[in-house]
Structure 1
Amino acid sequence: MIAMGGSIGTGLFLGAGGRLHDAGPSLIFLYAIAGFFGYLILRQLGELVSYRPSSGSFVSYTREFYGEKWAFFVGWMYWFSWAATAIVDATAIAIYFNWFGQYIPAIEQIDQWVVALVVIVVVVSMNLISVKIFGELEFWFALIKVGSLLLFMVIGIFFVIFGTPTGSPVGFTHIAESGFLPNGLLAALVVSQGVIFAYSGIELVGTASGEIKDPRKAIPKAINTVVWRIALFYVGSVLLLSLLLPYDAYSADESPFVTFFGSIGVDYAAPIMQLVVITAAASSLNAGLYSTGRITHSMAMNGSAPRFTGAMSKSGVPIGGILLTGAVALLGVAINYWKPSEAFEIVLNISAVCIVIGWISITLPHQRFVAMARRGERVRPEYQAPLAPVTNWLTMAFLVGVLVLIAFDYPIGTYALAAMLLVVPVLVVGWLSASGYGLWQPNV
């Protein structure tokens, strides 16, 4: 449920609108390809979890197979990806909320950054109460999202077969008129960062292994069920959206689901769907705070993070890590103040770069684990990633290709990738502080 909640969120409910407009129906194949590699990555993580469960997830495995230095880098990059995702989700909620200004004029007077600030404060506060609160919130968030997507798919299939109330054309007519690549191949490829961002959070199943009674049995089962469900929702939803409206009917400023329900002439269908997408963004933000709290706690235990980030409440909440993520997420409030129209895309690209690095940090430790098992230095569990290490190399090629495509997405993607290079000196200073001068001591 955590992986479902973390993955089915802003990337689909808001991000798919702009991607459909830019890539056209080819977005169907982009989601299918990304879903396939997401499945391989989760199978690799599942094998590592079956070998040695750890709430530190792939950061823990990076530490085992590549050493503390790389674990330090990976841990902080993954933490930063979720801090950036928190900004993306808060920005999305602000955009969704301001959409209601067409019905309630007073909402138009509320600045986007104010809504983003309130959202961050509320969700962080809820996460600080207890792990139980997190679980309850995520259960209901996920239930609403999955139920709404299923309802959309049922309605969408019905309209494709029998037509819409307005009599507008549906089906493969739209795809036949525009083709799969209406804006060309490059335009389709450069939206890959948004597709990767949409699948971010699937690795949360590894983080949850520290909370599960029997992770060696539960995690593989969860992986085998979650991945195909997510792929079905993403690929199925994008396919239906492409069949229901022409690609240029969608935009980056509105959820494609809201666009569709607004086009069928049913009163209040669009506002109700808008409330659902707000729930989706809140769910992703909620899951991200949970993940970063666990990751920073694990890092603090090994001296790779300041000691306060390892603080745990009496109810088992990693309050130090959650507060740190919340504090950095407040930077998103500033971005929403200075660049409200571009805030979503700016932070999405930054988060996508970090997510790719995180996924690389799953496939590389797994690749080394398999190599060590072949030499008799480790024993592979019964649950194994298919065709390793060949699939590891394929996964690496795919992820590196995504980074190259982000660089070609000028100007925001290019600048986002360049900005991430500036993080490297900061991490070097942090590593020297943690190891060379002993400023960060392990929590014991």
Structure 2
Amino acid sequence: MNNPLQPGALLDSDAEQLRKLGYTSNFNRTMSLWENFALGFTYLSPVVGVYTLFALCLAAGGPPMFWSYLLVGIGQMLVCLIFCEVVSQFPISGGVYPWARRLVGKRWAWMVGWIYSISLCVTIAAVALGAGPYIATLLGFESTPVTNTLVALALTLIATVLNLSGTKLLARVAMFGFLCELIGAIVIGCYLLMFERHQPFSVLFNTFDIRIDGSYWPAFLTASLAGMFLYYGFEACGDVAEETPNPSRRIPKAMRMTIWIGGAASMFAALALILAVPDMAAVINGTDKDPMTTILDSAFGVTGARMVMAVIIVSFVSCVLSLQAAASRLLYSYARDEMVMGSGLLKRLSPNTHVPVPALITCGVVPAAIVCAGFYLQNAIALVVSFAAIGIYLSFQMIVAGALFARARGWQPSGAFKLGKWGWPVNIAAQVYGALAIVNMSWPRTPDAPWYVNYGIVLVGAIVIVVGLVYMTLFRPYDKGNAPHGDAWKLHHQ
């Protein structure tokens, strides 16, 4: 008889748990706790997040923008704890979609999947495009819209090929990306703090008299977008639930590690960069429009700066890879429940690599199309890209709301991770935080700009939701399959 601690027995119990939830799976359960965490970490990608938004947010709010990383991290940890409870009871591939299905029902789940899949595809395109200038600097050519587009297409293709190679390679690349990012962030940060510190620590409390309508707070809220674009990688850990042994225990742990370690790395990188700015006034008044390049060139010289760029590029590649893996598992789980056109094809797993090949290819083609559209419609694509983060937050808040709804119906989480008496207060606090974050991200920042720029994010969001509702009403995709739904509270009473 098998010892329950032996890997074979563990995998058997995982398969049995999944069968009780209404599914069988042909995925390879080979992803360790650290590899699962690495997937979430590289999806969150502190280096990509901090380096991409550093200049914009420092100019907007000055050095106190540093504190937004801490405040947003606390808010997102509340959301993460709710996700931990849900994934512990429902460790099903696809993350937010199957969770919404079990907590609320089919229609709610369809809408969550719709908003989240669009947001992920746009985010893949945005991260791939963001790599262009760094690769241009590294290889010594000028960054133009044409080169950025070609780099983004190449990066998307590379990520797709790597993802098609199987879960083991995905896990290894994610782990490599994590180690590069973490070591890179620590080494670069330590060097800057020891040898290139131009500002005192007190600068973190100096607003440099930035005022909007006589107050500093609007400027700080604008600068806090730096933190808001960072902390949503934890969900990716749950997307590969059927590829991770003992997911009820490991995934909640990996999710929390993503915020602790990713948040700490982000804050350390941001701290080192802020203190290394040679002339803070020049950044805030707009004279120095690219403080990142100023810092890296003055600190490391041209050769050293290129080595730093290489670390940043690894971060971009592993970030695209992790985002695409998450999107493909969502699309696969959507198709497995017959919730989307072409379900018969999209739910297929390769017999050799045990990954959803058609879903992965789709999650390469759609972002590539968005990249190409962005070349011709640069202003329009900027609005769509800015919607992506709000779309992710909105999807997450639909899960938090779903958990509140299920609790009100009598749901008592029964997975390995439970908040117990803290469930209600944490759930309510996570909902309030998420609503305020979405309002902050959508708020108009440029009063003199045309209305469609000021309210572009809200407009794009409304279009995505209305199109989804119309499609859902006309074609009733949620009624095709017969997988379990809306049973979180019923399972407790059975």
Query: Structures share a fold, TM > 0.5?
Result: yes
Q: Is the CA contact (8 Å cut-off) linking 1:54 and 1:207 kept in structure 2?
A: yes
Give the match for residue 408 of structure 1: 444
Name stretches of at least 5 consecutive residues in structure 1 with no aligned partner.
none
Q: Is the CA contact (8 Å cut-off) linking 2:92 and 2:98 kept in structure 1?
A: yes
Equivalences for 1:372-411 in 2 at 5 Å?
A: 372=409, 375=410, 378-381=412-415, 383-385=417-419, 387-405=422-440, 406-410=442-446
* SS in structure 1 of the partner of residue 62 of structure 2: helix
Give the match for residue 54 of structure 1: 92
Match of 1:223 among 255, 258, 275: 255
Equivalences for 1:316-335 in 2 at 5 Å?
A: 316-335=354-373
Residues 263 and 178 (structure 1 numbering): CA distance in 2 closer, same or farther, change over 3 Å? Answer: farther
Give the match for residue 169 of structure 1: 198
**Mapped pair 1:207 → 2:236:** no
Residues 292 and 185 (structure 1 numbering): CA distance in 2 closer, same or farther, change over 3 Å? Answer: same
Distance 1:41 1:437 in 2: 26
Give the match for residue 3 of structure 2: none
Equivalences for 1:100-111 in 2 at 5 Å?
A: 100=138, 103-104=140-141, 111=147
Give the match for residue 417 of structure 1: 458
The Cα of 1:54 is off from its aligned counterpart by 1.4
**Mapped pair 1:141 → 2:170:** no
Q: Is the CA contact (8 Å cut-off) linking 1:3 and 1:226 kept in structure 2?
A: yes
Deviates more, 1:232-241 or 1:87-96: 232-241
Residues 379 and 85 (structure 1 numbering): CA distance in 2 closer, same or farther, change over 3 Å? Answer: closer
Give the match for residue 25 of structure 1: 63
Q: Is the CA contact (8 Å cut-off) linking 2:86 and 2:413 kept in structure 1?
A: no
* SS in structure 2 of the partner of residue 199 of structure 1: coil
Residues 76 and 382 (structure 1 numbering): CA distance in 2 closer, same or farther, change over 3 Å? Answer: same
* SS in structure 2 of the partner of residue 330 of structure 1: helix
**1:46 alignment partner AA:** C
TM-score normalised by L of structure 1: 0.86
Distance 2:54 2:416 in 1: 37
Distance 1:409 1:309 in 2: 40
Equivalences for 1:4-403 in 2 at 5 Å?
A: 4-8=41-45, 9-100=47-138, 103-104=140-141, 111-159=147-195, 164=196, 169-172=198-201, 174-175=203-204, 178-179=207-208, 184-245=216-277, 246=280, 248-249=282-283, 258-264=293-299, 266-306=301-341, 307=343, 308-314=345-351, 315-338=353-376, 345-372=382-409, 375=410, 378-381=412-415, 383-385=417-419, 387-403=422-438
Q: Is the CA contact (8 Å cut-off) linking 2:63 and 2:206 kept in structure 1?
A: no
The Cα of 1:335 is off from its aligned counterpart by 4.2
Name stretches of at least 5 consecutive residues in structure 2 with no aligned partner.
1-37, 484-494
* SS in structure 1 of the partner of residue 168 of structure 2: helix
* SS in structure 1 of the partner of residue 435 of structure 2: helix
Residues 29 and 175 (structure 1 numbering): CA distance in 2 closer, same or farther, change over 3 Å? Answer: closer
Q: Percent identity?
A: 19
Q: Is the CA contact (8 Å cut-off) linking 1:14 and 1:255 kept in structure 2?
A: no
**1:385 alignment partner AA:** L
Distance 2:103 2:457 in 1: 29
Residues 220 and 15 (structure 1 numbering): CA distance in 2 closer, same or farther, change over 3 Å? Answer: same
Distance 1:265 1:99 in 2: 14
Q: Is the CA contact (8 Å cut-off) linking 1:94 and 1:113 kept in structure 2?
A: yes
* SS in structure 2 of the partner of residue 135 of structure 1: helix
**2:217 alignment partner AA:** L
Distance 1:212 1:369 in 2: 26
Q: How many correspondences in the alignment?
A: 429
**Mapped pair 1:427 → 2:468:** yes
Aligned-CA RMSD value: 3.0
* SS in structure 1 of the partner of residue 417 of structure 2: coil
**1:367 alignment partner AA:** L
**1:134 alignment partner AA:** L
**1:234 alignment partner AA:** S
Give the match for residue 16 of structure 2: none
The Cα of 1:366 is off from its aligned counterpart by 2.5
Distance 1:427 1:35 in 2: 31
* SS in structure 2 of the partner of residue 333 of structure 1: helix
Note the alpha carbon deviations across 1:15-61, whole angstroms, 9 max, x for none. Answer: 22211221212221211111111111111111112223211322212
Deviates more, 1:72-81 or 1:353-362: 353-362
The Cα of 1:227 is off from its aligned counterpart by 1.8
Q: Is the CA contact (8 Å cut-off) linking 2:248 and 2:415 kept in structure 1?
A: no
Residues 27 and 416 (structure 1 numbering): CA distance in 2 closer, same or farther, change over 3 Å? Answer: same
Distance 1:33 1:109 in 2: 35
The Cα of 1:230 is off from its aligned counterpart by 1.4
Distance 1:262 1:385 in 2: 48
* SS in structure 1 of the partner of residue 164 of structure 2: helix
Distance 2:478 2:434 in 1: 35
Residues 214 and 437 (structure 1 numbering): CA distance in 2 closer, same or farther, change over 3 Å? Answer: closer
The Cα of 1:118 is off from its aligned counterpart by 1.9
The Cα of 1:63 is off from its aligned counterpart by 0.7
Residues 14 and 419 (structure 1 numbering): CA distance in 2 closer, same or farther, change over 3 Å? Answer: same
**2:320 alignment partner AA:** L
Deviates more, 1:63-72 or 1:329-338: 329-338
The Cα of 1:194 is off from its aligned counterpart by 4.5
Distance 2:374 2:90 in 1: 41
**1:279 alignment partner AA:** V
Q: Is the CA contact (8 Å cut-off) linking 2:160 and 2:360 kept in structure 1?
A: yes
**2:370 alignment partner AA:** G
* SS in structure 2 of the partner of residue 422 of structure 1: helix
Distance 2:137 2:170 in 1: 28
Distance 1:354 1:117 in 2: 23
TM-score normalised by L of structure 2: 0.78
The Cα of 1:298 is off from its aligned counterpart by 0.8
